Structure 1
Amino acid sequence: MTSSEIFPTPDSGSPSTTGATPGPGVFELGGTVTIPRLGFGAMQLPGRWSGPAGDPAKAVAVAQRAVELGARYIDTAAFYFSDTHRANDLLREALFPYAPDVTIATKVGPLRNESGEMYAEARPDQLRGEVERNLEGLGVDTLDLVHLRVGRLGVDGTEPIGERFAVLAALREEGLIRQLGVSNVTSGQLAEARSIAPVAAVQNRFGVLDQADAALVDECADAGIAYMPFFALGGGHTDLGEENLRKVGERHGATVHQVAIAWGLARSPSIVQIPGTASLAHLEENMAAGRLVLDEDDMALLGRRG
């Protein structure tokens, strides 16, 4: 597939890309697999976690279109489900058999009951079962990448993760997992994991409006580790931040979501953006952000904090 097929020529409604080659670029995941720096998050495909189920036909169409648009890195998890649908099942229906250049990453750690409640973290002896749930749901014999998700969202964890990460490392040796990642971790926890086995990726909260994890972003870049933010717009909403996002967007004919995605791509060469949606329109909007190139003035206006 050619680059023009993956990243179509911008139309009049697309962000400006003057002076730059369209496309978000690529990252060598674990030094062995080339992935695009703009992927797709599958969390929203089944419907809202605490709301009505999504439309499975629409979800399948979104996943297929994401790959058509070049999102050949997909983030999912067995604990992404609604009352009636599961993200892994929808991805399998949409994309199986998977193209050789599609990389699907999943994560294990939180235990979620059928009512949607995250009620505990998986013990070491439960992690094999969680990995097997992802294998079964996706219909594969080996998972491309598995993150160990640590703690609760927004809670800084300090507990050791070595025993649990070692279980995943052993499953990697068995051939059930190709590469390992960690999620929602501190620098110390990342170091602990790296002392056990190679870490290909970190998935933490980070974005233009929430740059508290900036030091770890830079640490990952120095180490050649992919950094995959969730909540790319961040949680630290301020009038100043949102105003400047709008200003930059107006300069380029882009939305604030596109600016936020492009900011991450410009912020660090190790950042791989994985925005999620269950809407075809939002998907097109997100993927068009890969063609948006921010200049030094834009980056200065948006700031680099942390």
Structure 2
Amino acid sequence: MTTWRLGDVTVGRLGFGAMRLTDPDQAIAVLRRAVELGVNHLDTAAFYGSANELIRAALTPYPAGLVIATKVGPGTDPERGFYNATTAAELRAQVETNLRQLGVDRLDVVNLRITGDGSLAERFEWLAALRDEGLIRQLGVSNVRLEHVREALAIAPVVCVQNSYAVDRRGSEDEVISFCAERGIAYVPFGSITDASTSAAVDAVAATHHATPQQIRLAWTLHRSPNILAIPGTGSVRHLEENVAAGKLELSAAELASLS
């Protein structure tokens, strides 16, 4: 498994997304197996439900070198339900919730996830202030366009950009990936294997490698650019092992061309 620098730490390019962790027993088994297989980059969020608590239950004391990235912006509240943070106090509360649930004094990476096309400057400035306080080690952005990345970079270092991206759902993301690669910023796609449509090209490559279509989608994602860090999520140990195995698949130039 190849690696990439996530800011000032090195992680394997095949990570794990915690959004699909729901069943406690299965989740703990999956998380522990992931670490056994060398996965050292976890993606989570307080608004995922019980994911943070499951990570804490499964992996504390946390192994050396494990990087846990979380997200703020969206949140849940008993009275309001699901909401998006619009004040410094709300963002601070979300950061503190992640700290408490994960059982840490400082969050490794916090991604500001936004909705809509408006400026992220004020919210990113609030997170940068929390980083300066020592509550956050490094910052990233999520669900953004290229202008948002530029906007954030003018305020503080950005170590990762997390957007929706897949072999058959690319949009204008190739430009963002190239921009990030030129600056050493990790690009962390979500949805690379979920909600995927059937693809004859993917199926053909999968048959050649005796692999699943999901494995080929992951392999293509990792082949796309060396700064891409995949974070497939699953609640199954078997699927986890398949995902990690996909990180070792070598696709030929002809296969990559057929998929592109």
TM-score category of the 2 structures, normalised to the smaller one: over 0.9
TM-score by length of structure 1 reads 0.82
Q: In the TM superposition, what whole-angstrom CA distance separates every residue of 1:203-232 from its partner, at most 9, and x where no partner exists?
A: 000010101111111111111100000000
Residue identity opposite 1:221 in structure 2: A
Gaps of 5+ in 2: none
The alpha-carbon distance between structure 1 residues 286 and 168, as it changes in their structure 2 partners (threshold 3 A), is same
SS in 1 for 2:247: helix
How far the C-alpha of 1:117 sits from its partner, in A, is 5.4
Q: In the TM superposition, what whole-angstrom CA distance separates every residue of 1:27-56 from its partner, at most 9, and x where no partner exists?
A: 0111x200000000011112xxxxxxxx21
The alpha-carbon distance between structure 1 residues 89 and 173, as it changes in their structure 2 partners (threshold 3 A), is same
Q: Residue 57 in 1 paired to residue 17 in 2?
A: no
For the Cα contact (< 8 Å) 2:193–2:217, is it kept in 1?
Answer: yes
For the Cα contact (< 8 Å) 1:205–1:234, is it kept in 2?
Answer: no
SS in 2 for 1:291: coil
Q: Residue 42 in 1 paired to residue 35 in 2?
A: no
The alpha-carbon distance between structure 1 residues 42 and 136, as it changes in their structure 2 partners (threshold 3 A), is same
For the Cα contact (< 8 Å) 1:229–1:271, is it kept in 2?
Answer: yes
Q: Residue 203 in 1 paired to residue 162 in 2?
A: yes
Q: Which whole-Å CA distance do the structure 2 matches of 1:208 and 1:115 have between them?
A: 40
Q: Which whole-Å CA distance do the structure 2 matches of 1:67 and 1:112 have between them?
A: 29
Q: Which whole-Å CA distance do the structure 2 matches of 1:119 and 1:172 have between them?
A: 23
Relative to its length, the structure with more helix (as a share) is: 2
For the Cα contact (< 8 Å) 1:208–1:234, is it kept in 2?
Answer: no
Q: What residue is the counterpart of 2:39 in the other structure?
A: 71
How far the C-alpha of 1:122 sits from its partner, in A, is 4.0
How far the C-alpha of 1:297 sits from its partner, in A, is 0.7
Q: What residue is the counterpart of 2:94 in the other structure?
A: 130
Gaps of 5+ in 1: 1-22, 47-54, 152-156
Q: What residue is the counterpart of 2:245 in the other structure?
A: 288
Q: Which whole-Å CA distance do the structure 1 matches of 2:223 and 2:118 have between them?
A: 32
Q: Residue 27 in 1 paired to residue 4 in 2?
A: yes
SS in 1 for 2:63: coil
Q: In the TM superposition, what whole-angstrom CA distance separates every residue of 1:13-32 from its partner, at most 9, and x where no partner exists?
A: xxxxxxxxxx2x000111x2
How far the C-alpha of 1:116 sits from its partner, in A, is 11
For the Cα contact (< 8 Å) 1:88–1:138, is it kept in 2?
Answer: yes
SS in 1 for 2:75: strand
Q: Which whole-Å CA distance do the structure 2 matches of 1:115 and 1:247 have between them?
A: 50
How far the C-alpha of 1:234 sits from its partner, in A, is 6.4
Q: What residue is the counterpart of 2:150 in the other structure?
A: 191
Residue identity opposite 1:26 in structure 2: T
For the Cα contact (< 8 Å) 1:45–1:87, is it kept in 2?
Answer: yes
For the Cα contact (< 8 Å) 1:107–1:147, is it kept in 2?
Answer: yes
Q: What residue is the counterpart of 2:119 in the other structure?
A: 160
Q: Which whole-Å CA distance do the structure 2 matches of 1:302 and 1:215 have between them?
A: 18
Query: For 1:188-267, what aligned pairs fall within 5 Å after superposition?
Result: 188-212=147-171, 213-233=173-193, 237=197, 242-267=199-224
Number of aligned residues: 259
